[in-house]
């Protein structure tokens, strides 16, 4: 089997509801699609979700990477020799992790389709579904509580509240959300690098009665020792997100800098790298969340298949597709009562028209 055609193109989508984090205000997202056609007629799909503050990429750099270096490496290659292809590309596209993720995703999609099996089964087949949280951006206290109630009414069992701009306001909002939704709902908080060590400790202490499940990336990603100090000083599990971009980062975090890691395919460069990072985390007894950017459902499916295959992935935050208007891959995953399911078709389980 050989790849005979490589196509990539951008799709710009507005969000139904813009949201705010400590890093940015998000109103729209551009994903880059990748289509690999083989001489057997099988077609594999991938998608990149570049985000300049997080991945260091723009849609333009990803398109250039896929249409240049990646296309040259892919055209004429056997897609089942995935590791050989990806190792070559990582040498040349280290600064384009979501572009790498798109290629890796498309190659895995082809592998599953060639085998006639869903990817999560090929990767390990640990579980058929997983609960996902849904994110609430930075909003005034009353609006945060109202949105939390609405998400629970929609069937979600886990909520992630964003913050990091105002520790006092964050404390009040978390308490209000807990009051609004009751104790049966899992509640997580993501500071997106916005806190100091002292603010992190204060936040955890003053929200103790809200029974948070975890605190995600409280301190700046470049200051690794600060994350370690928070982890040491608070009772709540601390999760590294932006601090984890590479396999080497995973080794560093495993030395006591965090209790958990958030693995996003767009940050780490695809499923193959996520699998290795998960192995490091498991060896270090760190729990894993699979997260996402503002991604189309096809990319969410890739993260889902990874999560379903690995027992060490105990949390999912795969909601990046829910607010995208005009997603060409809507339907690549199924959501029911806050639980995500794959389509159970071969590969990633979806074909574009």
Active site residues: 162, 190, 216, 241, 264
| Run of H or E residues at 174 | helix 167-181
**Residue-wise DSSP of 143-172:** HHHHHHHHHHHTT--EEEEE--S-HHHHHH
> Measured on CA atoms in the order 83, 86, 92, 98, is the torsion positive or negative?
negative
Instruction: Please give the Cα distance from 265 to 167 (Å, whole number).
Output: 30
**Strand, helix or coil for residue 14:** strand
Residue identified by tokens 């139904």 is: 16
Return the exposure string of 83-116: e unless at least 16 CB atoms fall within 10 Å of the residue's CB, then b: eebbebbbeebeebbbbbbbbbbbbbbbbbbbee
Q: How far apart are CA 328 and CA 30, in angstroms?
A: 12
> What is the C-alpha end-to-end distance of the chain, expressed in Å?
22
CA 90 to chain CA centroid, Å, is 20
Overall residue count recorded for the chain in this entry? 353
57/50 Cα distance (integer angstroms) = 5
- Among the listed residues 35, 57, 55, 38, the one whose alpha carbon sits nearest the alpha carbon of residue 46: 35
- Count CB atoms within 10 A of the CB of residue 336: 9
Residue 229 vs residues 159, 233, 255, 319: alpha-carbon distances, Å: 26, 6, 12, 30
């Amino acid at each position: 089997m050989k790849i005979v055609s490589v196509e990539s193109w951008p799709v710009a989508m507005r969000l139904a509801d813009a949201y705010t984090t400590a890093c940015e205000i998000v109103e729209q997202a551009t994903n880059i699609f990748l289509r690999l056609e083989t001489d057997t007629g099988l077609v594999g799909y991938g998608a990149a979700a570049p985000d300049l503050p997080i991945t260091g990429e723009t849609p333009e750099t990803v398109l250039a990477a896929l249409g240049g270096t990646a296309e040259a490496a892919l055209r004429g290659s056997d897609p089942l020799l995935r590791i050989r292809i990806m190792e070559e590309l990582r040498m040349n596209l280290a600064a384009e992790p979501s572009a790498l993720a798109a290629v890796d995703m498309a190659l895995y999609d082809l592998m599953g389709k060639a085998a006639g099996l869903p990817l999560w089964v090929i990767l390990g087949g640990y579980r058929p579904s997983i609960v996902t949280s849904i994110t609430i951006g930075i909003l005034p206290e009353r609006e945060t509580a109202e949105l939390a109630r609405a998400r629970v009414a929609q069937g979600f069992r886990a909520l992630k509240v964003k913050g990091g701009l105002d520790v006092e306001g964050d404390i009040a909002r978390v308490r209000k959300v807990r009051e609004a939704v009751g104790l049966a709902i899992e509640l997580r908080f993501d500071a997106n690098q916005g806190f100091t060590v002292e603010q992190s400790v204060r936040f955890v202490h003053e929200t103790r009665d809200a029974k948070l499940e975890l605190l995600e990336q409280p301190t700046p990603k470049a200051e690794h020792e600060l994350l370690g100090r928070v982890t040491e000083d608070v009772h709540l599990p601390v999760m590294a997100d932006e601090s984890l971009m590479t396999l080497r980062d995973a080794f560093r975090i495993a030395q006591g800098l965090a209790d958990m890691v958030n693995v996003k395919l767009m940050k780490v460069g695809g499923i193959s790298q996520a699998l290795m990072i998960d192995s490091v985390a498991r060896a270090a007894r760190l729990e894993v969340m699979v997260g996402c950017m503002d991604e189309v459902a096809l990319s969410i499916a890739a993260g889902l298949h990874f999560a379903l295959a690995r027992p060490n992935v105990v949390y999912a935050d795969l909601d990046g597709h829910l607010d995208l208007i005009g997603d060409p891959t809507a339907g690549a995953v199924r959501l029911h009562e806050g639980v995500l399911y794959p389509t159970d078709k071969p590969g990633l389980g979806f074909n574009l028209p």
